[in-house]
């Protein structure tokens, strides 16, 4: 039977050589993360449409200046992350250390600004209980902040390994994985920023 | 099985029941045919000495047509169910017929409150009257309801009317019905709403026109 | 790779007890851990079913054997309404999240995937181990909620807000919070598992194992994993919102604080409907592996089944509002959802008919795995077609939240999870434990389960048509339900026998593990790769790295002498 003949044809594995398991895993992980933030953003949008006036009034009280600075900080950190990855590929250990360190610092800067911003808002009485907009604001930025924190820790660990010199030769691809994650965190912020700060 | 449904006393109840029976006959046929084929195969296609299983892998279109043709039929029947359903749905949940009988139904743990606007036909005035767990309506007249909740989600369920509508806090959900038989019927809560969910029982009184007038006169004696 | 696998096997001897059986990274050990967890939870869920069935049949009488439950949870075996709601909630939660998923994906998926692919293990063995210990923790959290003040969660397995969001409504504070935590942990566990399933399937297939030579079980597992992954995200977000509503006082789902209760329902069902297919597909996958083996026939329409499954999986993302037809959502959006729901029967018709055609003109034998497989199919059809009634919005006005729904979803869930799960267990037990299950006990178990399952749940359709609501503590409160009470009693008696009917299985399961007939590598003469490994396979699975030369279902091909051709047999 001809169908058997086709079935007998020997296929080469297209597997291992094309995809690296680790990278694949990170992508699947990010796909599920996208759905978490997607659900959150979707809910936020539904509320926004439903309660036109009241929300934009509340949205006026977020701190656009700090928000913008933080956007800049996070974008820059994505850049340094890319540089770190490039340095790893070139096996330039000095530059890898430098850029990993910078990425960590920028991440911490972002968190610092964010904390300052929270403090200011809470001082004005805009706590998470001050209305649904604020509940969403704290939930979305808070969850994002947690992700930034995780990224900082991961990059810091890589930086320590880079300083000690044991990032090479076996685990240097972790910088790429961490980078993918870090860019994702950045992209989430790119969505949150206009939604929370610019849409009144 | 026809007797298993509670008696129907609403104008649209028959449409809902008809939907059920339409689907019942369609899927019933599908059910009997598919189970019958399974049974046939179980008994007739057992392993026997000297007989080899047929090598059918469905890769030839002529073979797979045995699946595709029934599937196409199912597809067409599905569309039929959808069309029939659409008109029934709009009849029940769509625009209510005009009427002068309006009642606000409020679910709260664990009672149904029915608010009548009184003679001035306006809610929010002094002559409003709220009755616990009793809904009084006249026969053969559309009744418009606004369904609300004070606390959690309840579901206003009158089996004989084939009427079910969730009561959601923060929303005012319209509903309507027209009863076709007088009598006393039970109202239930169909959505889990706490430990007293099962006690959230009320009564629907469908009166003849005269009785309803009397009831009104009793409740609002001054007018 | 061969050398590697061999060294791995030698290495195995040196592992400590803890590393070998408890914190093992071997996918087979992890799969068994999932199996034991799910069977234990099935016992708990079944016991809860017993309690709730007794209460429905003989309301407010002492449940035999429940006298030990301390006050104020129960009173000398008499269940109060608060506890009844907790029982229903925990029964549903346990059965769906702690039986169905760990059994079908955790146990069968973990055990089979690498073996069927011809891989040595999962792509991320340590992540795999973590996923098990995460669900283990989740189970502890969930079970512990029975013992906290005010008892376990009592807002239904769907946890509708605001009832679930504020303890003043439900009377349950801690239980409700622990319920959310347990679910969040469970979701995390299966996200980790899903990443592993997908990555393993894509990157670790044996040479020659193209996507369309995959055993269909693998397809079902990875489609289920993708569906889970893409649907659970919004509910994770929702769970966080519910958690802060409960504990911090925000109002995402509380109207008086500016929130919307229906948002929870949308988030829950956007996940909830795909979720029921997550626990359906692996069950279907299991019986599709079993049928060709005992029919000695190829699967009829392998590719159409795969395509139909993908279509059904995609459609499952746009039907969720069929759980909300009368929730007060925009009534004009209802019909579109009703249409997509009913159309989902099209891909399922293809799948079901293809299964039937696989039996057609086979050389059928009926050892217990096959009995359960055919039982799954026969029972699932009833579950599927009753879904059509519910999918029709006008019919659902009456049927929603009645026992009709309960009967529908037991016909679907029980078929895929319990029948399908048992089919899989009976089939792969020899591979898992190296011994055969006892056939006689298996047959007794099957007939008890089949007969009494139907006696429990067919009358439940009738009770539902009579109007009996779900989650009702005492149906005799209502006059219109009183005449049906004898049926409720009948159902309960049947349910008790159904439960007792599981005893032959429990005996068989443990007895055969030690005393059963030693299994050959390939006791069923099946084609897929797992049967070419030793029974049970050692750490590293295959003694020589397998290569694949053909599809998995070449049975009774006309030009062959034998009526089967293993995937790894050179042409
Ligand atoms: C494994 C689980 C599973 C599966 C597979 C299904 C499958 C389906 N379900 Fe079910 N469902 C649940 C589990 C499942 N369901 C659960 C748990 C609930 C309740 C949740 C709760 O509220 O607690 C529920 C509730 C539920 C509702 C909400 C009811 C309500 O609350 O009011 C609806 C409504 O549309 C529905 C519809 C369907 C449909 C159309 C299918 C379809 O996929 C079925 C398709 C299959 C077939 C159609 C059979 C094969 C075809 C043939 C044999 C050919 C003949 C067919 C025809 C002629 C049409 N289900
Ligand atoms: C997979 C899912 C599943 C399974 C298998 C079952 C099994 C059973 N269910 Fe359940 N049920 C649900 C999922 C499930 N249920 C869900 C989701 C709900 C909705 C909850 C809600 O409304 O919130 C529900 C609700 C529900 C209700 C409605 C309650 C109400 O609305 O008031 C009823 C009533 O009769 C019921 C009864 C039963 C019975 C009698 C069984 C019997 O079949 C049980 C038989 C016993 C077993 C199957 C266990 C056997 C044990 C083993 C096999 C272990 C062997 C162990 C070793 C080897 C160690 N269930
Ligand atoms: Cu009110 Cu249930
Ligand atoms: Cu559904």
User: Residue A91 and residue C244: Cα distance in Å, rounded?
Assistant: 46
C61, HSE (Cβ side, Cα atoms, 13 Å): 9
Do residues B12 and B162 lie in contact, with contact meaning Cβ atoms separated by under 8 Å? yes
Q: Do A4 and C550 touch (CB under 8 A)?
A: yes
Q: Which residue has the higher pLDDT, A6 or B7?
A: B7
Long-range contacts of A86-93 (CB under 8 A, 24+ apart): A88/A167, A88/A172, A88/A175, A88/A176, A91/A168, A93/A162, A93/A165, A93/A168
Average pLDDT, whole number, for chain C? 93
Q: What is the largest CA-CA distance in chain B?
A: 95
Question: Residue B223's pLDDT band (boundaries 50, 70, 90)?
Answer: low
pLDDT exceeds cutoff 80 at C1: no
Taking the Cβ of residue A146 and every Cβ of chain C, the question of whether any pair is shorter than 8 Å is answered with no
A24 contacts in C (CB within 8 Å)?
123, 198-199, 202-203
* Contact C378/B at CB under 8 A: yes
**Quick one: what percent of chain B has pLDDT higher than 70?**
98
Residue B16 has pLDDT above 90, yes or no: yes
Contact partners for chain B, using 3 or more CB pairs closer than 8 A, are A, C
Closest atom of ligand 3 to B200 CA is: 1
SS (H, E, C) C100-165: HHHHHHHHHHHHHHHHHHCCCCCCCHHHHHHHHHHHHHHHHHHHHHHHCCCCECCCCCCCCCCCCC
Helices C216-247 and A132-164, packing angle to 10 deg: 120
pLDDT category at C8 given cuts 50, 70, 90 is very low
Averaged pLDDT, C33-42? 97
What is the tens place of the pLDDT at every residue in C78-87? 999 999 999 9
Comparing B117-131, C389-403, C523-537, the range with the smallest average pLDDT is B117-131
Distance from CA of B62 to the nearest CA of C (A): 12
Q: Which residue has the tokens 């109002």?
A: C251
Give C322 Cα–ligand 4 centroid separation in angstroms: 6
Which residues of A fall within a CB distance of 8 Å from C558? Answer: 1
Closest residue by Cα to residue C388 from C351, C436, C340? C340
Complex confidence, ipTM:
0.93
Lowest mean pLDDT among A145-154, C385-394, C556-565: C556-565
pLDDT at A35 over 50: yes
The pLDDT of residue B117 is above 50: yes
Choose the weakest-confidence range: A16-30, B75-89, C286-300, C457-471: A16-30
State if residue C309 touches ligand 1 by the CB under 6 angstroms criterion: no
The count of other CB atoms within 10 Å of the CB of residue A198 is 12
Beta-carbon-side half-sphere exposure of residue A40 (alpha carbons within 13 Å):
28
Rounded CA-CA distance A96/A101 in Å is: 8
Task: Tell me: pLDDT of A13 over 80.
Answer: no
Give the closest of B42, B58, B159 to C304, CB-based. Answer: B58
Residue C317 DSSP one-character state: G
Q: Is residue B50 predicted with pLDDT exceeding 50?
A: yes
pLDDT tens digits, one per residue of C380-425? 999 999 999 999 999 999 999 999 999 999 999 999 999 999 999 9
Q: Please answer yes or no on whether C559 and A1 come within 8 Å at the CB atom.
A: yes
pLDDT of residue A19: 62
Rounded to an integer, the average pLDDT of C254-270 is 92
Q: Are B169 and C359 a contacting pair at CB < 8 A?
A: no
Contact C557 A128 (CB under 8 A): no
Q: Say if residue A146's pLDDT is above 80.
A: yes
> Distance between CA C558 and CA C565 in Å, rounded?
12
Q: How confident is the model at residue B131 (pLDDT cuts 50, 70, 90)?
A: very high
Q: How confident is the model at residue B111 (pLDDT cuts 50, 70, 90)?
A: very high
| Residue A3: closest C-alpha in chain B | B59
pLDDT-derived band at C144, boundaries 50, 70, 90: very high
Q: What is the pLDDT of residue C527?
A: 94
Q: Is the dihedral of CA C388, B67, C418, C219 positive or negative?
A: negative
Q: In this predicted model, which residue has the larger pLDDT, B46 or C16?
A: B46
The pLDDT, as a whole number, for residue A200 is 66
Residue C7: predicted pLDDT: 44
Q: What value does the mean pLDDT take over residues A74-84?
A: 94
Query: Which whole number is the average pLDDT over B161-190?
Result: 95
Is-contact B128 B118, C-beta < 8 A?
Answer: yes
Please report which residue ranges of chain B form alpha helices under DSSP H.
Answer: 13-44, 61-93, 209-219
In the prediction, which pLDDT does A39 show? 93
Query: What pLDDT does B220 receive?
Result: 86
The region that residue B122 occupies, defined by phi over 0 for left and psi between -120 and 50 for alpha, beta otherwise, is beta
pLDDT in tens, C338-370: 999 999 999 999 999 999 999 999 999 999 999
Q: Is the predicted pLDDT of residue A2 greater than 70, yes or no? A: no
What is the percentage of chain A residues whose pLDDT exceeds 90?
A: 53
> Could you give the percent of chain C with pLDDT greater than 70?
98
Residue with the smallest CA separation from ligand 3 atom 1 is B154
pLDDT at residue A6, as a whole number: 34
Residue nearest to atom 40 of ligand 1 (CA): C387
CA of C273 to the centre of ligand 4 (A): 4
Q: What is the mean pLDDT of residues C94-116?
A: 97
**Ligand 3 site, CB within 6 A:** B 107, 110, 154, 189, 191-193, 197, 200
**Angle, alpha carbons B1-B7-B10 (nearest 5°):** 130
Residue C3: its pLDDT value, please? 41
* Non-local CB neighbours of C64 within 8 Å, separated by 6+ positions: C54, C77
Chain A: touching chains (3 or more CB pairs < 8 Å): B, C
Instruction: Tell which wins on pLDDT, B44 or C16.
Output: B44
Beta-bridge partner residues of B149: B107
Interface of C with B in 225-264 (CB under 8 A): 255-256, 259-262
Partner residue opposite C205 with nearest CB, options A4, A7, A13? A13
Q: Which ligand is nearest to the CA of C504?
A: 2
Which C residues in the span 397-456 are in contact with B, Cβ-Cβ below 8 Å?
397-402
* Higher pLDDT among residues A171 and C254, named by residue: C254
B36 lines ligand 1 (CB under 6 A): no
Predicted confidence band at B181 (pLDDT cuts at 50, 70, 90)? very high
C447 Cβ contact partners less than 8 Å away, ≥ 6 residues apart: none
- C13 vs C43, higher pLDDT: C43
């Amino acid at each position: 039977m001809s169908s058997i003949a086709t079935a007998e044809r020997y296929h080469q594995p297209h597997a291992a050589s094309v995809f690296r398991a680790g990278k694949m895993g990170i992508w699947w992980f990010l796909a599920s993360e996208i759905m978490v933030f997607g659900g959150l953003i979707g809910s936020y949008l539904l509320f926004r449409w439903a309660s036109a006036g009241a929300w934009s009034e509340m949205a006026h009280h977020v701190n656009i200046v700090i928000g913008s600075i933080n956007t800049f900080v996070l974008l820059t950190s994505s850049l340094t992350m890319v540089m770190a990855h490039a340095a790893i590929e070139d096996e330039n250990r000095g530059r890898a250390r430098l850029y990993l360190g910078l990425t960590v610092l920028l991440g911490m800067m972002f968190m610092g600004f964010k904390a300052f911003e929270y403090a200011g808002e809470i001082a004005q009485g805009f706590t998470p209980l001050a209305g649904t907009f604020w509940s969403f604001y704290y939930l979305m930025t808070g969850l994002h902040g947690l992700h930034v924190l995780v990224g900082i820790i991961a990059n810091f660990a890589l930086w320590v390994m880079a300083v000690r010199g044991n990032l090479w030769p076996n685990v240097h691809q972790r910088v790429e994985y961490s980078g993918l994650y870090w860019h994702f965190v950045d992209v989430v912020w790119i969505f949150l920023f206009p939604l929370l700060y610019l849409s009144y | 099985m026809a007797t298993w449904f509670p008696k129907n006393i609403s104008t649209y109840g028959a449409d809902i029941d008809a939907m059920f029976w339409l689907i019942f006959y369609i899927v019933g046929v599908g059910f009997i045919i598919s189970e019958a084929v399974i049974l046939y195969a179980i008994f007739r296609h057992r392993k026997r000495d000297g007989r080899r299983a047929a090598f059918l892998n469905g890769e030839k279109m002529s073979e797979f047509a045995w699946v595709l043709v029934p599937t196409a039929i199912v597809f067409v029947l599905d569309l039929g169910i959808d069309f029939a359903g659409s008109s029934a749905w709009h009849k029940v949940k769509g625009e209510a017929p005009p009427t002068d009988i309006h009642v606000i139904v409020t679910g709260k743990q664990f009672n149904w409150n029915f608010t009548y606007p009184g003679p001035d036909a306006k809610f929010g005035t002094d002559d409003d009257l709220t009755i616990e767990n009793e809904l009084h309506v006249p026969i053969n007249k559309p009744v418009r309801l606004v369904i609300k909740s004070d606390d959690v989600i309840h579901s206003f369920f009158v089996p004989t009317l084939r009427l079910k509508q969730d009561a959601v806090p923060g929303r005012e959900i319209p509903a309507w019905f027209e009863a076709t038989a007088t009598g006393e019927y039970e109202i239930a809560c169909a959505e889990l709403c706490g430990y007293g969910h099962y006690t959230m029982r009320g009564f629907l009184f469908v009166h003849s026109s005269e009785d309803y007038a009397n009831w009104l006169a009793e409740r609002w004696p001054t007018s | 790779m061969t050398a590697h696998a061999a060294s791995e096997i030698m290495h195995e001897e040196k592992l400590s007890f803890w590393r070998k059986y408890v914190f093992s990274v071997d996918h087979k050990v992890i799969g068994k851990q999932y199996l034991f967890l799910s069977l234990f939870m099935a016992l708990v869920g079944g016991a809860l079913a017993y309690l709730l069935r007794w209460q429905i049949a003989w309301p407010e009488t002492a449940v035999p054997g429940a006298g030990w439950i301390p006050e104020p949870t129960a009173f000398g075996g008499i269940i109060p309404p608060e506890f009844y709601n907790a029982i229903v909630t925990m029964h549903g939660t346990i059965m769906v999240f702690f039986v169905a998923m760990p059994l079908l994906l955790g146990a069968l998926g973990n055990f089979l995937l690498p073996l069927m692919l011809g891989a040595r293990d999962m792509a991320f063995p340590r992540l795999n181990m973590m996923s098990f210990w995460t669900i283990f923790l989740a189970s502890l959290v969930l079970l512990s909620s029975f013992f906290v003040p005010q008892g376990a969660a009592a807002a239904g397995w769907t946890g509708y807000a605001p009832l679930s969001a504020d303890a003043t409504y439900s009377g349950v504070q801690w239980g409700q919070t622990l319920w959310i935590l347990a679910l969040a942990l469970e979701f995390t566990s299966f996200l980790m598992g899903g990443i592993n399933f997908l990555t393993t399937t894509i990157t670790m297939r044996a040479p020659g194992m193209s996507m369309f030579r995959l055993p269909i079980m693998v397809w079902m597992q990875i489609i289920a994993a993708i569906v889970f992954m893409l649907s659970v995200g919004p509910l994770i977000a929702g769970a966080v919102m519910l958690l802060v509503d409960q504990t911090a006082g925000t109002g995402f789902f509380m109207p008086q604080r500016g929130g919307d209760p229906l948002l929870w329902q949308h988030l829950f069902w956007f996940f909830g409907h795909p979720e029921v297919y997550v626990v359906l597909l692996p069950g279907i996958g299991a019986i599709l592996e079993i049928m060709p083996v005992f029919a000695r026939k190829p699967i009829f329409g392998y590719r159409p089944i795969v395509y139909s499954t993908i279509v059904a999986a995609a459609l499952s993302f746009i039907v969720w509002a069929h759980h909300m037809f009368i929730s007060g959502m925009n009534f004009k959006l209802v019909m579109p959802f009703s249409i997509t729901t009913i159309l989902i029967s099209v891909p399922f018709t293809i799948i079901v008919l293809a299964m039937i055609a696989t039996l057609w003109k086979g050389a059928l034998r009926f050892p217990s795995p096959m009995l359960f497989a055919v039982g799954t199919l026969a029972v699932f059809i009833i579950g599927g077609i009753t879904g059509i009634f519910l999918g029709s919005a006008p019919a659902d006005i009456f049927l929603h939240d009645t026992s009709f729904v309960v009967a529908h979803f037991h016909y679907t869930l029980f078929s895929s999870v319990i029948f399908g799960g048992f089919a899989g267990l009976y089939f792969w037990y020899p591979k898992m434990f190296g011994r055969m299950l006892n056939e006689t006990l298996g047959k007794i178990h099957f007939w008890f389960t089949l007969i009494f399952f139907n006696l429990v749940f067919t009358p439940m359709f009738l009770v539902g048509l009579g109007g009996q609501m779900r989650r009702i503590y005492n149906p005799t409160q209502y006059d219109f339900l009183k005449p049906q009470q004898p049926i409720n009693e009948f159902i309960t008696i049947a349910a008790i026998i159904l439960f007792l009917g599981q005893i032959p299985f429990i005996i068989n399961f443990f007895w055969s593990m030690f005393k059963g007939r030693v299994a050959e590598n390939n006791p069923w003469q099946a084609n897929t790769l797992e049967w070419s490994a030793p029974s049970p396979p050692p750490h590293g699975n295959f003694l020589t790295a397998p290569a694949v030369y053909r599809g998995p279902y070449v049975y009774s091909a006309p030009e062959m002498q034998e009526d089967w051709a293993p995937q790894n047999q050179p042409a």
